[in-house]
Amino acid sequence: MTPLTPHPYMGNSTEAIHERMLAAVGASSIEELFEQIPAEHYGTQGETLPDGILSEATLELHVDGILRANKNTRDNLSFLGAGSWQHHVPAVCDEIAGRSEFLTSVWGTPSSDHGRNQAWFEFSSQLGELLDLEFVGLPVYSWGSAGGNALRMAARLTGRNRVIVTKAIDPERRAVIESYCGTQGSSRALEIIDLDYDAETGHTDLDQLAAQLDDTIAAVYIDTPNHLGVFEAQAAEITARAHAVGAEMIVGTDPLSLGIVASPASYGADIVIGSTQPLGVPLNAGGGVGGFIATRDEERYAREFPTLQVSITETLVPGERAFGLTLFGQSSYGAREEGNDWTGNSVYLWAIRNTVYMALMGPAGFTEVGSTIISNAHETAKRISGIDGVTVRFDSGFFKEFVVDFTGTGLTVADINEKLLAEGIFGGKDLSGDFPELGQSALYCVTEVHTEDDIERLISSLGKAVTR
Amino acid sequence: MTRSEIRPFHAARWSEPVIMEMGSPGRRGTVPPTSWASADAAGLVPAGLHRTEAPGLPEMSEPDVLRHYLHLSQQTMGMVGISLFGTCTMKYNPRISERIIARPYVADVHPAQDPSTMQGVLQIVDEFSQALTSLSGMPAFTFQPGGGAAAAFTHAAVTRAYHASRGELGQRTEIITTAQSHPSSPATASAAGFDIITLPVEEDGYPSVEALRAAVSDRTAALMVNNPDDMGIYNPQIKEWVDIVHEAGGLCFYDHANFNGVMTRLRAAELGFDACMFMLHKTFGVTKGGGGPAVGAYGCSEALAPFLPGPRIEKVDDTYTLVESPSSLGRIREYLGNVPQVIAAYTWLKAMGGNGLREAADLSVLTNNYMEKRILEIPGITKAFPEMTKRRLEMTRFSLGDITAETGVTAVDIQNRMTDFGIDAYWLSHEPWIVPEPFTPEAGEAWSIEDIDYWIDVLAHVVDEARSDAELVKTSPHNQVVARPNGAGLDDPERWATTWRAYQRKNGNH
């Protein structure tokens, strides 16, 4: 059935072209072309979808009408973080990521994809500078995905199948890691051992770590800053202890902190992972996440990467550079089930955003944004802790997130957030379900985008909210 | 038919340096806000964690960064030329979707917002899920998987959870697939802890029922297959396959990578499958992005739905809420998935409608048959399994093996030479290669007949060149951004360099 109006998305949507192609292939009807499919295979039960909306104006009205029901962090005041963080996205990031060439590319040749491959190499190169590491893969789906991949890399590297994972971790991230480790009793699963944190300091419980470490441990995994916002002050000590039993040290980090904070590589972390979302990617209702995996450029590590990665290389023309996939053969594309885990479509367009972001920021931008964030966040925490019955759990040594404890107000976080929402404020993420040891606490996120006026508004609204 | 004249083409060639070589000390590309707080930032970083040296990033002005990346974008062909890259279903990506998802009501929504403030997002995700139900018969969908491979992994994880719930996980150790499945099927199943049985392709272009019977046992956890495969060949015994696996207690997963030719005709649930996967970045008009953000929409039966990763969207009265199923496997990825891409797919589907989907499927198959007829008229090109004489669906796998034998020119050589005329690479074949020197174009429904004809004309022209001047083709491309990589050192630990820093060190410039 040819529609009355040819569809604008289809170049051959005219009756004349249908007929022309049918004649060329010698078929009297379209149905003839489906001769491979037995008639009894055809579906009969589905609801038929309504006809298409051919007019773009009508289509936009329809979709827009639904999405207008959303509230967003730009028109409201948001303190939500916990895995997706509100940062400024420079306009140039939007312009470049929106270019049709990058937006629509798939797999050309190294020559026809040269520009994109170079941008990917620049993503890895700039991230490598921030991380002080020389081997960086193309991004994976998310920080959780990077964590799962890194733990599995460590298991292959050590031939061991027990991993120690911090409990001061985003439950979403932890759940992804569990799926990757296969904790449901299947064969070849990795056993995850929980590593406690000190509820007074937010730091790793070193005594418990000492008791857990032995020569069956493949890896120790911590985050700094961790999910509760705290920098892991003992990271170097933890790394030394992991290495002492032959375990790999995996550290997750926020790349936006690396202008002011030393990379985990500085104290010998072996596999450094984290989120790429802070580097120029909008929140996207959770669809902004991405992850990175980086190590020293040592063959031992490079051969375990599950990702695709581009290497700078030479062409047939002397002196000319190109970019090609390195170690492709160890990926699932190259080796199917014999490869390192698996790869496929990931978040490569976000790598374009990331590389543009890092180039715009430069060394000074990273130093400044880190300083602004840490100062804004600490000052906000100090002001919040001035509210009656409200305390900040770990009152220093955090980056952009901190734990606000409302237990003393006699109210729940849910109550308080409901009152804040009525004033156009998205309060911090409720931790009471996942971290009951913290009482009625919420994780507040303050970044470079928050102004002093924003914070005054928050303090005023919180003050009212905690007064019953 | 007469060939059209081959038009001159040359890619942009900016000789663009790597950004690490650019800039000048002190230049700024963006300036973050200064803090309004009086606290001294350095004093707030715990002792011993201070960064001592500024990161070695380029120092550039904003216009210089913009122009550098514009140059790189111009040195990327994308879908600005003609790309009939097979198995990836190169479709038009309506820019209205891009406009919509860039607006604050999508881009600036935080995933942890109260569901009451995300009703628009939740409605679209839920309605799109229902649309996929009508196309597949699968009552439940998750959009958490960040691509097709992630959806295959989701299936492996659901398979784990399902057998564990029945106390059979220790026994159900094997997943069966075929040599023609996407590599992600065996790879994800293996990563999830299963042993892989790969059935070889037989004379009809697919494995025999007997081979399947021999592979199935009480150890069978699942079957993971695509149909049609990447050769455009449909396994007409698929219902029998599903019955055999079900009788043994296994689950059946339908990788709908090649859904484009059969959409509105086949429904996975009616063929007996327990689960299926659609790639929104292929079949549903969402951008490729060079490799994501993508969505592998994973749908499954009522029996498997409780195991899906959470959270699930539920509509109570007129309000959408998020719920966690007690038997959920947890998460495959954080949050709801690539929501903007789901919204773009919803928008595309609304534009297409049921009638548009049917026409797109028809056109993809018709155009492939049109292409096949013309391509096989080029002397030396053959197709995989020519003895299977029924018409192929939306793809055909061809072989240049005879031309290689005759001229020494390979499928990769021809692929590279075609880019000299503005035609981007064709897909060769996933591992393992079933025919020598394979190539797999896919017409899809977006490209005009003029573009399809021109693509074939260029292919024919390059095959002529292979016969008249093989060296020209072997040393191609000549009109591209750069020449072909010489392949040296990419897998050599002394020479590979995924970062500028490694490259400098290995070349003595550190």
Placement of tokens 């086949």 in the chain:
B266
B99: CB partners within 8 A, 6+ apart: A60
CA-to-CA separations, A441 to A171, A202, A411, A431, in angstroms, rounded:
15, 13, 10, 5
- Per-residue pLDDT for A44 more than 60? yes
Q: What is the DSSP code string of A429-447?
A: EE-TTT-GGG-SEEEEE--
Q: Using the beta-carbon criterion (under 8 Å), do A297 and B118 form an inter-chain contact? A: no
Question: Angle at Cα B145 formed by Cα B143 and Cα B150, nearest 5°?
Answer: 150
User: pLDDT, tens digit, for every residue of B35-53?
Assistant: 999 878 888 999 889 999 9
CA-to-CA separations, B412 to B401, B408, B427, B439, B474, in angstroms, rounded:
12, 11, 10, 9, 9
User: pLDDT, tens digit, for every residue of B160-183?
Assistant: 999 999 999 999 999 999 988 888
Tell me how far apart the alpha carbons of residues B434 and B428 are, in angstroms, rounded to a whole number: 11
**Is the preceding peptide bond at B17 cis, omega within 30 degrees of 0?**
no
DSSP single-letter state for residue B425: P
Q: Using the beta-carbon criterion (under 8 Å), do B30 and A361 form an inter-chain contact? A: yes
Q: Is A223 on the interface with B (CB under 8 A)?
A: no
- pLDDT > 70: what percent of chain A? 98
Lowest mean pLDDT of A330-334, A378-382, B286-290, name the range. Answer: A330-334
Average pLDDT (B11-18) is 97
- Per-residue pLDDT for A113 more than 80? yes
Strand, coil or helix: what is A10?
coil
User: pLDDT, tens digit, for every residue of B399-427?
Assistant: 999 999 999 999 999 999 999 999 999 99
- State the best of A10, A234, A272, A454 to mutate against chain B, taking most chain B CBs within 10 Å: A10
Q: Using the beta-carbon criterion (under 8 Å), do B79 and A104 form an inter-chain contact? A: yes
Query: What is the pLDDT at residue A185?
Result: 60
- Per-residue pLDDT for A3 more than 60? no
Query: What is the pLDDT at residue A184?
Result: 57
Q: Using the beta-carbon criterion (under 8 Å), do A289 and B186 form an inter-chain contact? A: no
Tell me how far apart the alpha carbons of residues B173 and B221 are, in angstroms, rounded to a whole number: 6
User: pLDDT, tens digit, for every residue of B249-303?
Assistant: 999 999 999 999 999 999 999 999 999 999 999 999 999 999 999 999 999 999 9
Tell me how far apart the alpha carbons of residues A126 and A131 are, in angstroms, rounded to a whole number: 9
Closest residue of B to A309, CA-based? Answer: B498
B398 pLDDT tier (thresholds 50, 70, 90): very high
Closest residue of A to B281, CA-based? Answer: A345
- On chain B, the residues whose CB falls within 8 A of the CB of A70 are 105-106, 109, 117-121
Average pLDDT (A152-171) is 96
- Per-residue pLDDT for B3 more than 60? yes
Query: What is the pLDDT at residue A85?
Result: 98
Q: A466, A390 in Cβ contact below 8 A?
A: yes
- State the best of A14, A21, A109 to mutate against chain B, taking most chain B CBs within 10 Å: A109
Closest residue of A to B237, CA-based? Answer: A38
| Strands A248-253 and A217-223, sheet pairing | parallel
Average pLDDT (B449-473) is 97
Distance between alpha carbon B323 and the CA centroid of its chain, in Å? 30
Average pLDDT (B449-462) is 97
Interface of B with A in 203-232 (CB under 8 A): 228
For chain B, give the mean pLDDT.
95
User: What predicted TM-score, i.e. pTM, was given to this entire model?
Assistant: 0.97
- On chain A, the residues whose CB falls within 8 A of the CB of B70 are 96, 99
Interface of B with A in 261-300 (CB under 8 A): 262, 265-267, 270-271, 279, 281, 285, 287-294, 296
Tell me how far apart the alpha carbons of residues B417 and B440 are, in angstroms, rounded to a whole number: 16
- On chain B, the residues whose CB falls within 8 A of the CB of A138 are 291
Q: A186, A249 in Cβ contact below 8 A?
A: no
- Per-residue pLDDT for B309 more than 70? yes
Q: A416, A464 in Cβ contact below 8 A?
A: no
A141: CB partners within 8 A, 6+ apart: A289, A290, A291, A346, A347, B146, B147, B150, B292, B333
The more confident residue out of B170 and A454 is A454
Closest residue of B to A368, CA-based? Answer: B32
A322: CB partners within 8 A, 6+ apart: A110, A111, A114, A117, A312, A313, A314, A315, B482, B483, B484, B485
Closest residue of B to A290, CA-based? Answer: B293
Q: Using the beta-carbon criterion (under 8 Å), do A179 and B329 form an inter-chain contact? A: yes
User: pLDDT, tens digit, for every residue of B319-374?
Assistant: 999 999 999 999 999 999 999 999 999 999 999 999 999 999 999 999 999 999 99
A414 pLDDT tier (thresholds 50, 70, 90): very high
Nearest to B80 among A100, A120, A429 (CB): A100
CA-to-CA separations, A94 to A70, A89, A103, A315, A354, in angstroms, rounded:
22, 8, 11, 32, 11
- pLDDT > 90: what percent of chain A? 91
| Strands B319-323 and B312-316, sheet pairing | antiparallel
- pLDDT > 90: what percent of chain B? 90
Strand, coil or helix: what is B159?
helix
Q: A210, A241 in Cβ contact below 8 A?
A: yes
List, in sequence order, the alpha helices (H) in A113-234.
Answer: 114-131, 143-158, 171-181, 206-212
| Strands B195-199 and B251-255, sheet pairing | unpaired
Q: How many residues does the structure list for chain B?
A: 510
Q: Is B86 on the interface with A (CB under 8 A)?
A: no
Nearest to A342 among B149, B291, B348 (CB): B149
DSSP single-letter state for residue B376: H
Query: What is the pLDDT at residue A335?
Result: 81
B254: CB partners within 8 A, 6+ apart: B225, B226, B227, B268, B271, B273, B275, B276, B277
Q: How far is A245 from chain B (nearest CA, A)?
A: 24
**The three-state (H, E, C) secondary structure of A313-334, written as one string:** EEECCCCCEEEEECCHHHCHHH
User: pLDDT, tens digit, for every residue of A80-99?
Assistant: 999 999 999 999 999 999 99
Beta-bridge partner residues of A251: A222, A272
Nearest to A336 among B91, B332, B431 (CB): B431
List, in sequence order, the alpha helices (H) in A385-465.
Answer: 413-422, 452-465
- On chain B, the residues whose CB falls within 8 A of the CB of A142 are 146, 333-334
Average pLDDT (B237-258) is 96
Tell me how far apart the alpha carbons of residues B236 and B251 are, in angstroms, rounded to a whole number: 19
Average pLDDT (B220-248) is 95
- Per-residue pLDDT for A40 more than 80? yes
Nearest to A366 among B55, B75, B104 (CB): B55
Tell me how far apart the alpha carbons of residues B149 and B147 are, in angstroms, rounded to a whole number: 6
Q: Is A255 on the interface with B (CB under 8 A)?
A: no
Phi and psi at A373, nearest 5°, equal -60, -50
Q: Using the beta-carbon criterion (under 8 Å), do A112 and B18 form an inter-chain contact? A: no
For chain A, give the mean pLDDT.
95
Interface of A with B in 435-464 (CB under 8 A): 448-449, 451-452
**The two structure tokens encoding residue B16:** 């663009």
Provide the number of CB pairs (under 8 Å) joining chain A to chain B: 775
Query: What is the pLDDT at residue A148?
Result: 97
- Per-residue pLDDT for A2 more than 70? no
Average pLDDT (B91-115) is 97
Q: Which of A129, A140, A256 is nearest to B502 (CA)?
A: A129
DSSP H or E run through B226: strand B220-226
- Per-residue pLDDT for A183 more than 80? no
User: pLDDT, tens digit, for every residue of A198-238?
Assistant: 999 999 999 999 999 999 999 999 999 999 999 999 999 99
Query: What is the pLDDT at residue A289?
Result: 97
Sheet holding A248-253, edge to edge: A135-136, A291-295, A271-275, A248-253, A217-223, A162-166, A191-195
B201: CB partners within 8 A, 6+ apart: B178, B179, B180, B207, B434
